[in-house]
Amino acid sequence: MAEHHHHHHLFHHHKEDEQLVDAAGAGFDYRKEEKHHKHLEQLGEMGAIAAGAYALHEKHKAKKDPEHAHKHKIEEEIAAAAAVGAGGFAFHEHHQKKEAKKEYEETYGKKHHHLFG
pLDDT at position 3: 53
Task: Tell me the three-class secondary structure of the chain, residue by residue.
Answer: CCCCCCCCCCCCCCCHHHCEECCCCCEECHHHHHHHHHHHHHHHHHHHHHHHHHHHHHHHHHHHCHHHHHHHHHHHHHHHHHHHHHHHHHHHHHHHHHHHHHHHHHHHCCCCCCCCC
The long-range contacts involving 95-102, CB below 8 angstroms and separated by at least 24 positions, are: 96/37, 96/40, 97/34, 97/37, 97/38, 97/41, 100/30, 100/33, 100/34, 100/37, 101/30, 101/34
pTM for the full predicted model:
0.69
Query: Contact, 93 vs 41, CB < 8 A?
Result: yes
Can you tell me the mean pLDDT for 92-115? 85
- The tens digit of pLDDT for each residue in 30-84 reads 889 999 999 999 999 999 999 999 999 999 999 999 999 999 999 999 999 999 9
